[in-house]
Amino acid sequence: MGKPILFSATAALVSLTVLAAVPALANDGDRGKPPHQKPPEPVTCADLATDPANGLLGARKIKSVTSVVVPASGANVAFCQVDVLYGTNANQNINVRVGLPLNSLDGGAGGVQGAWNGRTQGIGGGGCAGSLNVNAPVNTGYVGSGTDTGHTGGNCEPGVNADGTYNLQFINDFIRNGIKQQILLSKAIAKTYYAMPPVYNYWNGCSTGGRQGYLLAQELGRELDGILANAPAIYWTRFQTAQMWGQIAMKDLVGAPIPAAKLAQAGASAVAACDAADGVVDGVIDDPRTCEFSAKANICGTATAPPANCLTQAEAEAIDLIWDGPRNTHGKKIWYGLDRGTNLSGLNGTNPFALGVTQFHWDTHDLAFDWKTVTADTYPQVAQAGSRNIADVSDTFGDLDTFRASGGKLLTFVGGNDQLIMPQGVIHYYRQMAARYGRHDSPDFARVQKFYRLFRAPGVAHCGGGPGPQPQNLFGALVAWVENDDAPATILAQSVANGVTRTRPLCPYPQTAIYRGSGSTDDANNFYCGGDLDTREVLCDGVLVKYKHEVNGPLDFDEGEVERRVCEQHRHGLPHDQEPENRACLAKRPGDYSRDGHRCPRAAGLQARKTRSKPTKMRYPTNATAVAITIVAQSSSIWKLTMLEKSR
């Protein structure tokens, strides 16, 4: 974060502090009135947990609280650490930690009050774990906060009880309750400790931390000014169920996991085939969704096979299925696959990804459920069970109405080759929000980008890594947007390999970086943001089967914000010159110009869906068991689904 940003906020906070410290001058109109209430004063760190007047000791729902000054150590500054155990019943035990830069009473200096910069920053977790490490934000002057989300470690198996019911206390504490209390407590404790409320409140997380950021924007929309939510693990049930698709494909077709070297070679061959599509050969596929390379080109004995790590027919078919993603027996896509160029070994190694196995247990509410009994044909039943049983509680796909109305800003980057969460998932959500806040109920990126921006990072893996240039200073960009109204038009990305520094601009979706045609391709200045990644082919190929109807449901063009008519023309392969004049109006507002110069119709054909209802906010169960579906194996390919309505 640059000094000008800090200075402007600091100056404002100093002004507020000075004004609060100056007693009001009496005048004739004040005579006879009671004296002004004495302004609050800071308290010591020790007093936070020992004096009931400070709102923690003895408070309802606070089971225990401690506060202590942690001395400086190495690169970490001294700070006041407050640990709170929160719970509304015997089974709820959420640990929240708040780290506060020392105030003036405890020896802090250099900030607007003590060592504090006037801001809070919540830190997210990862996998199935929270985080109680608050040093990073505290070291930069923020009040930092974290939570264990109600359980220790990263095991989510306790989400299902031994009797097959859901442990909704565990699930809701992990999904939402823990982080909500983290934010509310950190703001309240900061106000008490410094005798002034935070001026700006932020969230910073990736993966699970990214999902948590989206949850807070959806369900606690008035409490945060800025949210950095990278590689967000939203659609928790759907994408984690899909994490097992590759293992099932390899089991069915190959009989065992494919060696890592063969998976890597298949990925490298895909990159070699599609790298140049954007006009620059740099070892990265700009938009893997447009790459149609088949692993069958690597089958041993073919003219295109690599000299080493070629594939058998079965291995090639399995890899193509991994890239394509899970489909039902009617060929309809259930969720997205891992994009070409992505490291396939993370989910498709010798052992399956642990969270995927756990998700199957959540889907079926059965801790003994064996994923090896599932085939590609029966996978849709498991996916449907998860959607109907628990996804409404876990998947984090609500609207951003309150957050938007409150002036919040949401910034997200997702790696174009994320190996764990399938980046098309967050693009799917982003397009839905672009339609929700558009004028004609179709994606309007200019409007949604006023408060929510998504940046793709080609060649970047989950939360970072990979061959692509890495995003830089994302949190600083968020702060500049919130505090100076400086919306990020681009994000600088940089990598260093073999002594060569490469920089690129990352562009707000659906734009991408385009080479100007001259100058070094390692210099971001020789690229500009433009184009439109929302092509007909990409959007139509990404339409999913209807949520909760994964087995036999129709394709849900409305959820995909895609016109059914255009996709049907695409599917039937109509030649370009035989399509109607409005063929390129996919996802355009009526009256706009299509990509090939035609004006989109206002009355017929691809007119925007003005009558379609907006998504409604979900009501999440808190102390009840959700609707459950029991899956009973009848044979290797037939499943019986029985609806069980549990008490609420």
**What residues act catalytically?**
207, 418, 462
**Cα dihedral 519, 521, 525, 526 sign:** positive
- CA dist., res. 620 & res. 393, Å (int): 6
User: What does DSSP assign to residue 597?
Assistant: S
- Helices 208-219, 178-194: inter-axial angle, 10-degree rounding: 70
C-alpha torsion angle, residues 333, 337, 340, 341 (rounded to 10): 170
Going by C-beta distance under 8 Å and a sequence separation of 6 or more, which residues neighbour residue 217?
224, 227, 229, 400, 403, 408, 410
- CA dist., res. 544 & res. 552, Å (int): 12
- CA dist., res. 529 & res. 217, Å (int): 28
Using an 8 Å Cβ cutoff, are 389 and 403 in contact? no
Using an 8 Å Cβ cutoff, are 588 and 628 in contact? no
Q: Helices marked H in 558-604 — which ranges?
A: 564-571
- Taking phi over 0 as left and psi of -120 to 50 as alpha, with beta for the rest, 647 belongs to beta
User: HEC string of 303-339?
Assistant: CCCCCCCCECHHHHHHHHHHHHCCECCCCCECCCCCC
Using an 8 Å Cβ cutoff, are 627 and 644 in contact? yes
Alpha carbon separation from 601 to 586, 588, 611 (Å, rounded):
11, 10, 17
- CA dist., res. 341 & res. 277, Å (int): 14
Both tokens assigned to 267: 């990925």
**Phi and psi torsions of 621, nearest 5°:** -70, 145
* Longest alpha-carbon distance in the chain: 100
Using an 8 Å Cβ cutoff, are 337 and 324 in contact? yes
Going by C-beta distance under 8 Å and a sequence separation of 6 or more, which residues neighbour residue 315?
253, 254, 258, 262, 295
- CA dist., res. 255 & res. 42, Å (int): 66
Q: Where are the beta strands (DSSP E) in 128-265?
A: 143-147, 200-206, 226-230
Q: Are strands 226-230 and 143-147 parallel, antiparallel or unpaired?
A: unpaired
